[in-house]
Amino acid sequence: MVVTIQKPTDDSPDANKQSLGKQVMMHILYLSVVLSLLGRGFPQAPPAAAPAQHASHAPSHATPSASEIWNSLMAGNRRFVEGKPQERNLVSLRRKLVSAQSPKAIILSCSDSRVGPELIFDQGLGDIFVVRTAGNVADAVALGSIEYAVEHLHSPVLVVLGHQKCGAVNAACSGEKMPSTNLDAIVEKIDPAVTRAKTYAKPDDLLESAIKENVHQSAHDLLANSEIIRHAVESGKLTMIEAEYELDSGEVIRLSEPARSEN
């Protein structure tokens, strides 16, 4: 916007003053219009939205309770038993989990190829933190892995999962000498459970009783050998659940009491 100042035709002092006054008023009017436009503001782009927080890292909803998490795992197990797994967009899930993970549960299970926790609980990427060893026992490496999930990922549930016809427990029940010190290390952790089972189980029931006892023994060892896990349980931040997977039915059964008190 350009304002042109014209030379007054009347050269008298009064005329010059009047002309100058008009020019000043025009400038003031011009500035008033400009300031008014600036005050109202021109159309502006909306402010940039804050980056959405990653669902797996900082969920907007409240953290579910241990009971709710266990119920969701059992709902997944029912889908597995029925052969109706939940459909998932794995590509989308993979991309969402690039920046962080926040698994709702930790699963300590056997390495047996028939016992895949992600499958038998019908869980997707990022849902559960799985540690697998033969006989679902926890050595220093397994303990450290679980401690990481408890201390840094803040998973509120820890499931110790045994299963029918466990080969590691069967080896311990046999009493035979293992062919290596590494296999011996596994059997030695299971031996206390076998010893307890032998105090009440009939020969035909020894393996199944020892499997349940071994789940209880593994849970006990986690608390005895890890201050982090023990403190999390005592403070109510972590709930431990003991369970057994049935190979024939595909069902996961929660163990509420030691096997020896059930007989």
**Rounded Cα gap, residues 77 and 66, in angstroms:** 16
What pLDDT is attached to residue 140?
Answer: 97
> Is 242 inside any structural domain?
yes
Instruction: Specify the number of domains making up the chain.
Output: 1
> Is 180 inside any structural domain?
yes
CATH for 157? 3.40.1050.10
> Is 26 inside any structural domain?
no
What pLDDT is attached to residue 31?
Answer: 58
- Each residue's pLDDT tens digit, 141-195: 999 999 999 999 999 999 999 999 999 999 999 999 999 999 999 999 999 999 9
Q: Do 241 and 157 meet the contact criterion of CB atoms below 8 Å apart?
A: yes
Identify the weakest region by mean pLDDT among 46-55, 113-122, 164-173, 252-261. 46-55
Which DSSP string do the residues of the chain spell out, in sequence order? ---PPPPPS--SHHHHHHHHHHHHHHHHHHHHHHHHHHHH----PPPPPPPPPPTTTS-SSPPPPHHHHHHHHHHHHHHHHHT-PPP--HHHHHHHTSS----SEEEEEE--TT--HHHHTT--TTTEEEEEEGGG---HHHHHHHHHHHHTS---EEEEEEETT-HHHHHHHHTPPPSSHHHHHHHHHHHHHHHHHTTT--GGGHHHHHHHHHHHHHHHHHHHH-HHHHHHHHTTS-EEEEEEE-TTT--EEE--S-GGGG-
Burial class (CB in 10 A: 0-12, 13-18, 19+), 19: middle
What pLDDT is attached to residue 62?
Answer: 74
- Each residue's pLDDT tens digit, 65-124: 999 999 999 999 999 999 999 999 999 999 999 999 999 999 999 999 999 999 999 999
Selection from 126, 165, 158, 120 nearest residue 142 by Cα = 158
> Is 226 inside any structural domain?
yes
What pLDDT is attached to residue 26?
Answer: 62
- Each residue's pLDDT tens digit, 209-231: 999 999 999 999 999 999 999 99
What pLDDT is attached to residue 20?
Answer: 53
> Is 32 inside any structural domain?
no
Long-range contact set of residues 3-9: C-beta below 8 Å, sequence gap at least 24 = 3/27, 3/30
**Rounded Cα gap, residues 127 and 37, in angstroms:** 55
pLDDT-derived band at 34 (thresholds 50, 70, 90) equals very low
**Rounded Cα gap, residues 54 and 33, in angstroms:** 47
What pLDDT is attached to residue 11?
Answer: 54
> Is 237 inside any structural domain?
yes
> Is 11 inside any structural domain?
no
- Each residue's pLDDT tens digit, 65-77: 999 999 999 999 9
What pLDDT is attached to residue 256?
Answer: 81
> Is 112 inside any structural domain?
yes
What pLDDT is attached to residue 22?
Answer: 60
Per the structure, the complete domain to which residue 211 belongs is given by 66-83+96-257
Residue 237 has pLDDT above 50, yes or no: yes
User: At 93, which amino acid appears?
Assistant: L
